[in-house]
Amino acid sequence: MEPQTQERPAAPPRVREVDQPVPFTLRDGRTMLLRRIRPDDAEDLVEGFRMLSPRSVRMRFFSPMRELDPRFARRLADVDFVSRAAFVATFPDDDQVRAVGRYESDSPGVAEVAFVTLDELQGQGIASAMLERLVDLARSNGIRTFVAYVLPENAAMLNLFRRCGLPRRIRRDGELIRVELDLS
Ligand SMILES: CC(C)(COP(=O)(O)OP(=O)(O)OC[C@H]1O[C@@H](n2cnc3c(N)ncnc32)[C@H](O)[C@@H]1OP(=O)(O)O)[C@@H](O)C(=O)NCCC(=O)NCCS
């Protein structure tokens, strides 16, 4: 006798946490969304770069770049959410990228993190919210250490790492400060 085949309901598609935009409240009470970066954000990254103050550009890229190369922007916007991941912050009504937080791993278990928030939105808690999201994703991808390179005068970034609650190791690396965060 043929074994009876039983029709099973299809399992619901696994909703990947990374796909869900997460609302969060700025310190001034406005709501923003944290969502995964998409390849079609590349143009916004180029535009957003033009809005940054020279100081913010230097803090992020350590040199006075004038433009974000569109090819580089395309690479930044195209990530796999495993070894390279990025989230962006947008207002719910226009979806324009106002801040980016990313990690990139090129050795097992370790990833470099970097953030940038448009000047007029700095100090509102955006990068702190991004760091939390990046930490969760990195842990689920087996990343145990975040490394960041920060200019010594970048009080905002150093503050954020000091207050994030993760064990830290800090050392001088040439002109930069190397911050290591333990996610384990
Ligand atoms: C560093 C940076 C990403 C922080 O982003 P953010 O969205 O402003 O971060 P948060 O609002 O979560 O603030 C982090 C901390 O820095 C403080 N801070 C933010 N902007 C500041 C500023 N311009 N000056 C001094 N402190 C500042 C905040 O008050 C907060 O500290 P607190 O929790 O003790 O209040 C942002 O200032 C930025 O884009 N700077 C230019 C690029 C850069 O430096 N990137 C880092 C390279 S890894």
| Ligand 1: nearest atom to the Cα of 149 | 48
**Overall residue count recorded for the chain in this entry:** 184
- The answer to whether residues 156 and 166 touch, using CB atoms and an 8 Å cutoff, is no
Nearest CA to ligand 1 atom 24: 156
* Cα 143 to Cα 137: distance, rounded to the nearest angstrom: 9
**Average confidence (pLDDT) over 73-89:** 97
What confidence tier does 71 reach under pLDDT thresholds 50, 70, 90?
very high
pLDDT computed for residue 1 by the predictor: 44
CATH 3.40.50.2300 for domain 18-182: no
How far is CA 144 from its chain centroid?
A: 16
User: Where exactly are the structural domains of the chain?
Assistant: 18-182
Pocket test for ligand 1, best of 88, 103, 117, 131 (most atoms within 8 A of CB): 117
Ligand 1 binding residues, C-beta < 6 A: 56, 59-60, 99, 114-117, 122-128, 148, 150, 154-157, 159-160, 163
Tell me the CA–centroid distance for residue 161 and ligand 1, in Å.
10
Residue 140, helix vs strand vs coil? helix
Nearest CA to ligand 1 atom 27: 156
8 against 42, higher pLDDT: 42
pLDDT computed for residue 93 by the predictor: 94
Record the tokens describing residue 102, joined without a space. Answer: 């990313």
9-23, 38-52, 60-74, 128-142, range with the lowest pLDDT: 9-23
- The answer to whether residues 58 and 34 touch, using CB atoms and an 8 Å cutoff, is no
- The closest of 119, 80, 122 to 103, measured between CA atoms, is 80
- φ and ψ of 145, to 5 deg: -140, 130
Record the tokens describing residue 57, joined without a space. Answer: 């550009």
Q: Which residue has the tokens 């009876």?
A: 4
Residue 120, helix vs strand vs coil? helix
Give the gyration radius of the chain's Cα atoms.
19
For 96-145, how does the pLDDT look when each residue is reduced to its tens digit (9 = 90+)?
Answer: 999 999 999 989 999 999 999 999 999 999 999 999 999 999 999 999 99
The neighbour count for residue 110, using CB atoms within 10 Å, is 16
The answer on pLDDT for 4 being more than 90 is no
Tell me the CA–centroid distance for residue 126 and ligand 1, in Å.
8
